[in-house]
Structure 1
Amino acid sequence: MQNTWSKANERVGVLSILMRHAVDLEWIDRNPVVNVEKLTGGEYERRPEEKLKAFEAACADASLERILYELALGTGQRLGDCISVKWTDFDGEYMTVVQEKTSAKIQVYSPPRLQCFLKTVPRSGAHRLAKNHTRHMGKRHVQKKVEAIREAIGVLSGANRPVPHGWRYTAAIGLAGAGVDMRGIQSVTGHKTLSMVQKYTAQANQKAASRRPQTAREQGGKEKGKR
């Protein structure tokens, strides 16, 4: 699983919990997973614009893959939270989301693009991604559908492959690039701590901050040239 480092680390973590339980039950003497090193694969990166466009083009109109993509990119929420969104959670402007990871209930303003897109989605159940009239689709089922699109456009594997969680990252970086402060970004993404927001937006903030001193340096050089 070296090409899916985050999944590999997750498996090791689960296995370690099971082994600790086995030690407590005196089935084994020690936890054999304790010294297994985690794989590294870098940080999540903003999806290049051309890859976003390629994904859009490969999706059928109002397909479950496109719905998930638009929800994640438009609201900045995790994939699992987007999958569980109901029709009644959207009032035309604001989307109510109960975050699975934090149990926090937040309301996120939906940008015009998302509002317009959702108007084109036919209603087939209580959820946006409906399995039947009362239940939403399973996360793994949706992930497999997304993986098929990613494979079709050539971004399923490789060290620098963009991953679906990158849609959330792309939303956060887009906000940072537009000059939104960390509190504002936090109000959209629902991160519990500003340190997590900083992790997502550090690259965009650094890029924007570099413009000011470089511009000042250029202007200073011009002033010296006039003397």
Structure 2
Amino acid sequence: MKRDLPAYVYRRKGGLLYYERRGSKSQRIYSEPGTPEFAIEYAKILNSVSSIPERRSFTELVASYRKSQRFKRLAPRTVKDYEKILSWVLEKLGPLPADKLQRKDVIRARDTNSETVRFANYIVQVLRVLMEHAIDEGWRDDNPAKGVSLLQSTRAPREAWPAEMLVKFRKAAPDRALLVFELCVGTGQRIGDVLRMRWDDIEGDGVNVRQGKTGARLWVPFTPQLRAVLDKTPRLGLTICAWGSAGKVTSYRSAAGLVMDVRKKIGAEAYDLHGLRYTAAAELAAMGCSDELIMAVTGHKTRAMVAKYAGPARQKARAKQVQIEREQNTPRT
């Protein structure tokens, strides 16, 4: 069917007329087609009197986002995670128009990277944020990444370390591995935060922590096991886990390697460093601590995350209590 409007002129919802052409700013036309006023407006646009080229590529969008308060408010750990996806966006989508992204494109990007579920889901999440920024900047009116579902991981859920594995690790671990282990399970913090802990962060019988992922500030008391290990640990550098005569900072790779050596030795390959954070929450839950008390130690922001970490241990503790009460109330024959 032949269009009844000149080239690049479209009527939007509500009957409003706009001149829309890739590489040019979308412009409102106030006169109706067929009138002298319309001819004048249209001629001015075609002659570039009022046409202002716009940059709407993903390259420009990422650059704009990095300068925004939305980006500057992110915690350092989140910035690190986001930058991996922003680099992917620049490589794969850089010169393409950000205002033309559609929902199907977001789904295609997710599914193309589905072999790595976490990365695929992060693509959706970061594109969602970028599109919100595009709306803020007036580049578009909708967010095509909003509502796109995340992939479900087929990997077995992470579990807390069983009590017997904790005992075996403590017996088998050399000093440096034991220090990393006790800091993780004793404070309930992520390994990145543990490795950044400094001797001058210690206050009284606890340690001050600023979480890299959330920015939360906490003071976490030491467990007896952690205090005993710290008392025997020489101060080799600024950080508690420093090593060597120069007091070098222990890297994540090095810490993971130290712990893995012991895990292999005791048959605990199924339980990793982050599982020790689960372990701390599970131990507190088994003691009957409330969500608020567990959050005060681990720094979790939501009850949902506490339930994820502490739920199994809490269910087990409650089940045991029910069985005890059941036995006590069973009539004797």
Query: TM tier, shorter chain?
Result: 0.7 to 0.9
Please, what TM-score do these two structures have when normalized by structure 2?
0.55
Moved more, 35-44 or 209-218: 209-218
Moved more, 192-201 or 110-119: 110-119
Task: Provide Cα deviations, 1:40-84, integer angstroms capped at 9, x if missing partner.
Answer: 222221212222222223322x32x11110111111111111111
Is 1:49 matched with 2:159? no
Larger Rg, first or second structure (1 or 2):
2
Moved more, 209-218 or 190-199: 209-218
Q: Secondary structure, in 3 states, of the residue corresponding to 1:34?
A: helix
Structure 1, unpaired ranges of 5+: 1-12
Which of 111, 121, 142 is the equivalent residue of 2:233? 121
Q: Which amino acid aligns with 1:95?
A: V
> What CA RMSD, in Å, does the superposition of the two structures yield over aligned residues?
2.8
Once the 2 structures are TM-superposed, how far is the Cα of residue 18 of structure 1 from its aligned partner?
4.3
Q: Secondary structure, in 3 states, of the residue corresponding to 2:219?
A: strand
Is 1:20 matched with 2:89? yes
Once the 2 structures are TM-superposed, how far is the Cα of residue 216 of structure 1 from its aligned partner?
5.2
User: Does the aligned pair in 2 maintain the 1:19–1:33 contact within 8 Å?
Assistant: no
The residue that corresponds to 1:141 in the other structure is 254
Once the 2 structures are TM-superposed, how far is the Cα of residue 212 of structure 1 from its aligned partner?
5.0
Structure 2 CA distance for aligned equivalents of residues 219 and 55 of structure 1: 36
Q: Which amino acid aligns with 1:111?
A: T
- Structure showing greater relative contact order (alpha-carbon pairs closer than 8 Å, 6 or more residues apart): 1
How many residues are treated as equivalent by the alignment? 205
Structure 1 CA distance for aligned equivalents of residues 217 and 195 of structure 2: 15
Structure 2 CA distance for aligned equivalents of residues 104 and 135 of structure 1: 26
Q: Which amino acid aligns with 2:110?
A: V
Cα distance change, pair 108–42 in 1 and its aligned pair in 2 (3 A): same
Is 1:179 matched with 2:248? no
Which of 318, 321, 325 is the equivalent residue of 1:209? 318
Cα distance change, pair 99–135 in 1 and its aligned pair in 2 (3 A): farther
The residue that corresponds to 1:101 in the other structure is 213
User: Does the aligned pair in 2 maintain the 1:16–1:34 contact within 8 Å?
Assistant: no
Cα distance change, pair 17–221 in 1 and its aligned pair in 2 (3 A): same
Structure 2, unpaired ranges of 5+: 1-81, 118-152
Task: Provide Cα deviations, 1:61-117, integer angstroms capped at 9, x if missing partner.
Answer: x32x11110111111111111111000111241210111111111101112222222
Structure 2 CA distance for aligned equivalents of residues 154 and 46 of structure 1: 15
Once the 2 structures are TM-superposed, how far is the Cα of residue 192 of structure 1 from its aligned partner?
1.2
Structure 2 CA distance for aligned equivalents of residues 148 and 112 of structure 1: 25
User: Sequence identity of aligned pairs in percent?
Assistant: 33
Cα distance change, pair 15–108 in 1 and its aligned pair in 2 (3 A): closer
The residue that corresponds to 1:155 in the other structure is 268
Alignment of 1:21-36 (within 5 A): 21=90, 22-26=92-96, 33-35=109-111, 36=114
Task: Provide Cα deviations, 1:118-165, integer angstroms capped at 9, x if missing partner.
Answer: 111011111111157676222122212222222233333xxxx11111
Structure 1 CA distance for aligned equivalents of residues 322 and 247 of structure 2: 56
Once the 2 structures are TM-superposed, how far is the Cα of residue 171 of structure 1 from its aligned partner?
0.9
User: Does the aligned pair in 1 maintain the 2:236–2:247 contact within 8 Å?
Assistant: no
